[in-house]
Structure 1
């Protein structure tokens, strides 16, 4: 299976974080979510789904809590990407995709496909094999060796 370099992988991790920031930011506050939700309802209807139900304050609070957490997690990955954070994010994406598939199975929410497909693609990208770093050794004097990645 082909691999990517660590530097490419870190760019993928940053790109996924930026994508998440753009997608999730409207879910992070009650005011932005209030503007977004009617638009999501229109898209769901346009895709052939049912009208979205009204949200109670509790639903909005839970949505905004999740949006805020995902936003903070995304900023962390954007500013300090790493192989470990990318792998955790990929695992989280597969977990989120599981709940999206559950929602699709309930019916009436074709809108979920617009979130599920990118979620799966980013998850696969962040679980793609990374080429092992090549190391070279050279002598740096008596008994000392410097190991560095090329």
Structure 2
């Protein structure tokens, strides 16, 4: 039983680390203004090439870029933390963050954002479901209660 418990925990930590590596790769470019601007130019070109409707954020908006850099910086730092210190608590917090990001993307899509967001949404949901599944399997369970033994008092034999 101890081996199974350990392997479930190791599996959870491995997936938490893997999701963090994915997040790092996907978001580190947004942490820096020059690379975030290039990403936006690339997304605009892809959006136009595919003839999609909807809107994408503009790299020419300084307030948009400030929030993009903030998001990129925070997610990059959070990803590094989970890479080096994966834990069930970090996995649970990250799963919650994925739910919140997914809700924000669904809201953006409903308000006319580019359908390119659907790709990111699908990945967020997939990582969230995968992480939630390993967290449920790895969560600590209370030890089974021992069979109740009658308490015999030394006074009972007199």
Shared fold by TM > 0.5?
A: yes
Give the aligned partner of residue 99 of structure 2.
94
Number of residues paired by the alignment?
A: 133
Give the aligned partner of residue 126 of structure 1.
131
Give the aligned partner of residue 15 of structure 1.
18
1:40-69 deviation per Cα after TM superposition (whole angstroms, max 9, x unaligned): 112223162345353311110111011100
Conserved? CA contact 1:17–1:78, under 8 Å: yes
1:56-87 deviation per Cα after TM superposition (whole angstroms, max 9, x unaligned): 11110111011100000000000110011001
Q: Distance in 1 between matches of 2:113 and 2:21?
A: 29
TM-score normalized by structure 1? 0.80
Conserved? CA contact 1:47–1:110, under 8 Å: no
What does residue range 1-150 of structure 1 map to in structure 2 within 5 Å? 5-45=8-48, 46=50, 48-50=52-54, 52=56, 54=58, 55-128=60-133, 129-131=136-138
Q: 5+ unaligned residues in a row in structure 2: which ranges?
A: 1-6, 144-158
Q: Distance in 2 between matches of 1:47 and 1:121?
A: 26
**Higher strand fraction (1 or 2):** 1
Conserved? CA contact 2:47–2:116, under 8 Å: yes
Q: 5+ unaligned residues in a row in structure 1: which ranges?
A: 136-150
CA spacing shift, 1:52–1:76, aligned 2, 3 Å? same
Say what the alpha-carbon RMSD is for the aligned residues.
Answer: 2.2
